[in-house]
Structure 1
Amino acid sequence: MTGYVMFRKHRLGTRGGGVILYIKESIQAYEITLAKEAECEEAVWCNIVTGNSTLTVGLVYRSPNISMEENEKIHNAIKEVRKRDCIIMGDFNHGHIQWTSLQCTGREDQEFLNLVQDSFLSQHVLEATKDENVLEKVLSSQKEFVDNVKICEPLGCSDHNQIHFIIKVKGERNRK
């Protein structure tokens, strides 16, 4: 996409898949690597320079048939970046969590909900993103980082709705 820097991570061992994150060229951003125990197969992490600090932004895809080992890596990644100013987004395939009442069914959903709560992260997507489920999440370390969340029609042939939102931090633009 013209005017954007692309950060991506391919799905290993298969054709297609993976994650891709676009950040405007005018925003100073660079890819980061997490600790080995937090390196997820389908996640990409960047730091965005925001004045005198950085905001860590992560994009994660969690398959519905994920291995226990890979699920643990996603949890470790969240535990690592929660210590920073961060926004973590993606399709986590935890569709049975009621975010308004903080209730859920299923062990994996409960573990994820506990992780989000124990990490003091705010979940900003409260409407269904696929059928009746809230599969996509936008989590932030500070509630005021995310504003104006809108659930929009799917893009192209996707069966998931788009999520549009504004990240509200002060930043420095690249000088070119």
Structure 2
Amino acid sequence: MELHLGMDEEPTKSLWVRIKGRAGDIIVGVCYRPPDQGDQADEALYRQIGAASCSQVLVLMGDFNHPDICWRDNAAERKQSRKFLECVDDNFLLQVTEEPMRRDAMLDLVLTNKEGLVGDVKLKGSLGCRDHEMVEFKILRAASSLPWTSGEQTLAS
């Protein structure tokens, strides 16, 4: 089975991978949304996220550049950020990053469509001279609500 997520559309800075397992597949996406990205590219990215969220198990990570989002209140000042929140809500995604990375902003996010799938999220310091923190987390394949049988995988964004 191939993974087609809007490849004929406006280009986005995203990578999508299907990891095949005996008990089911998992989709892992990595995205970077430039701060000056236009509405057309945003809509293409949201269509890709929508297509990926139809999978049974999804983990999406990346820098979405929406520093004005208040995740506690599910609110944002800017229109682009409110559209991103709509995409997250429409696709039943959970944001699991708890600590702000830069100037109290949650820029580097880890999102999933299964509660209990992602755990042990930690900030691991900056990579070189970058102003973002590395985010390390585990995909908990042994979660009771998931088709995986045992074990875990560690990923960093």
TM-score, with structure 1 as normaliser? 0.74
> What is aligned with 1:147?
119
Does structure 1 residue 164 correspond to structure 2 residue 127? Answer: no
1:141 partner letter:
N
- Mapped contact 2:6–2:44 kept (Cα < 8 A): no
Moved more, 47-56 or 140-149: 47-56
1:121–1:140: 8 Å Cα contact kept in structure 2?
yes
TM-superposed CA distance for 1:39, in Å, is 6.4
Other-structure match for 1:137: 109
Alignment correspondent of 1:127: 99
1:86 and 2:58 are equivalent in the alignment? yes
CA drift at 1:63: 0.2
Match of 2:72, SS state, is: coil
More strand by share: 1
- CA distance, structure 2, for counterparts of residue 166 and residue 39 of structure 1: 32
Which residue of structure 1 lines up, in the alignment, with residue 44 of structure 2? Answer: 73
Residue in structure 2 matched with residue 60 of structure 1 by the alignment: 31
What is the CA-CA distance between 1:98 and the residue it aligns to?
1.1
The amino acid that maps onto 1:162 is M
Cα deviation code 1:26-49 (max 9, x no counterpart): xxxx98442335664311110112
Shift of 1:172: 9.0
One-letter identity of the residue aligned with 2:44: K
Name the amino acid aligned to 1:83: C
Aligned residue for 2:54, secondary structure, equals coil
Q: Quote how far apart the aligned CAs of 1:97 are.
A: 1.0
Match of 2:145 in 1: none
Q: TM-score, normalised by structure 2?
A: 0.83
**Contact 1:60–1:92 under 8 Å retained in 2:** yes
RMSD of Structure 2 on Structure 1 (CA): 2.2
- Shift in Å, 1:77: 0.7
| Distance across 2 between alignment mates of 1:156 and 1:171 | 37
Superimposed CA distance per residue, residues 17-69 of structure 1 (whole angstroms, 9 cap, x where no aligned partner): xxxxxxxxxxxxx9844233566431111011232210000000000011221
Give the total of aligned pairs: 144
